[in-house]
A and B are shown apart, each in its own frame.
Chain A
Amino acid sequence: MKRYQLLVSKVGWSLFTVLFVIVLNFFLFRVLPGDPSRAGVRDPRLTKEAQEAIRVRFGLDKPIINCFTTLNPLKLAPETCAVNPLDTQFFIYIGNLIRGELGISFHTNRPVAGILRERLGNTILLIGAGQILSIVLGIAIGVVAAWKSRTVVDYTALVSSLVAWSMPTFWLGIILLFWGSRDLGLPIGGQVTVGTTYATVWDRWLDIGRHMLLPTLTQTIIYVAEYVLIMRSTMLTVLSEDYILTAKAKGLSTFQILKDHALRNAALPIVTIVALNLGFTVAGAIQIESVFSWPGLGQATYEAVVRRDYPLLQGAFLLLAVSVIIANLIADLLYSYLDPRVQTS
């Protein structure tokens, strides 16, 4: 009964957060100064008429919400209110969302849903591979380091993790890019070698894999450190507990102690970090994507901010918010499963 109630309340709160984000997203971008119909382009050829025509096409000629044509705090002023309060940018946006339409990107003339789908796939492929690799390696190294506490193994793991964790992603990416392209002949841009005719599907995936190597390596080096550090410190606390001593006294093998007695108790902080990181995976890693020109979501979002591409921005942020919220929900529910005390408190 209790678990059921918990589920309902968590899911309810998540839905509420999504609704809040939908509304916030709309206003957030419009408070920024800037005009998508100019898209950062200043050109004497762009006449007043052309600009107005573009505004009409984007639906920017309508008030944002009733009585307001701008949300720029510097220009905010009371205005005469329209006859039909529903014929405003805000309610058109909400109406479209209800119908499942994310609109057409201002900058690229393509449906936002299509862009997001394409970019999401690329991002999940790259960032997902890096995250899974980091999680597996990070937990393994962290556990070993804690078990071999105060030995050369531990110190090596600790120091190298600290060094890796403090390295700027951009810088490490560039270093690996120079090294990988010069000494290993690895490709350093994009996802495939365009123009190649692949004999089999397998060849195509091999090509994608080669393009993924350097960005995945960069990501793994940065993230693995985080998991190692957290896993090691939680493990150390757990390993000093009396029940571990008891388990040792019972003559259990190292592996049994670690797996059945230590790991599950040490798992809580890691679950949190993993869930949060996986949620943000969808945002892509802007720095890695831009160093290696990987066509992911992070890169698309950055471009949309620069171009004031409202439909794409709204779509991307909605996607990001939903995935972070879902990841958090999963973490919450996993928590109550891993640690029964969470349910009652």
Chain B
Amino acid sequence: MAGVTLNAVRKDYGTFLAIPELDLEIEDGEFCVFVGPSGCGKSTLLRTIAGLEDLTDGQILIGDQDVSDRHPGERGVAMVFQNYALYPHMNVRQNMGYALRLAREPKSTISQKVERAADILGLRDHLDRKPAELSGGQRQRVAIGRAIVRNPKVFLFDEPLSNLDAELRTRMRLELSELHQTLSTTMIYVTHDQVEAMTLADKIVVLRAGRIEQVGSPLELYDNPVNKFVAGFLGSPSMNFLPATMTANGLQFADLDGACVDFGTEPTPGKVVMVGIRPEHLEISEDGAPLPLRSVEQLGGVTYGYAILQSGEEFCVDLKGRRDIRAGDTIRLLIPPSRALVFDADTELRIR
């Protein structure tokens, strides 16, 4: 087991700079999730750690060893790919034991390690099958098993659940979480699914255009995002943003009938800001500003109402449990000052 340290890591493809310069410390045994939109460089970063992409500049340490120039097979990492990357001509046993065979381990040891991993993942009955004979979930388990048998210092996961259906994805997410608890090995996980990030991570790294926007625990990032991008990326449904203008009395919204709320921020009269509020933090009250709902989603335990603001932005409200509210109804909303986050409209940075 070992932590991972990235020192001034840079990666470019000719003139395209995928990762400008990045420093990151991942603790030993930590479950770290790289999250961000498509093209943000999260997979590139993971593949650079794996050694599948050459580093342009900087240093990668696994434990206290500099692995920047090492062959992928000598870095002590194992990777689970999005599309499983199982060898189609080998059966499950051969797939899982391939790395050990290359390392010239004795047959009995290979067999023992493969069977132990198969037991952990419930693959005992499938050891002699080819990948094509397995379901999506079983294939993903084989891919994880192939990583486990190598007993790596660090596990790397590149969007491993995105090819699975919703139900299986939830189950595998739990299994991965349990696996991390069982093995206590450092895991780095790439996803664009913020639910996976929130549920699995000890530490989330939010990336945009190859740069780290924020690093922290899931709830830390959820409650205290440093900018509008992080605030909007984490949370489902995502945070609402309302344009507002600072006045001496507080913030005056262009929408919501021009409601004025005192958020306690130092006012710069006339300054335009964005106010972020999560759907579940909005309060429905007779004293609130009216909001006509365009559509309503009844999910059983939760009800979401959606409106389009004058600014054209979509606005989502958690209607708290089951409610007899339909599309076209008007609700009255209050924005609790303690729950709202204020962001600079130009820099998108949080104003505290």
Whether both chains belong to one complex is answered with: no
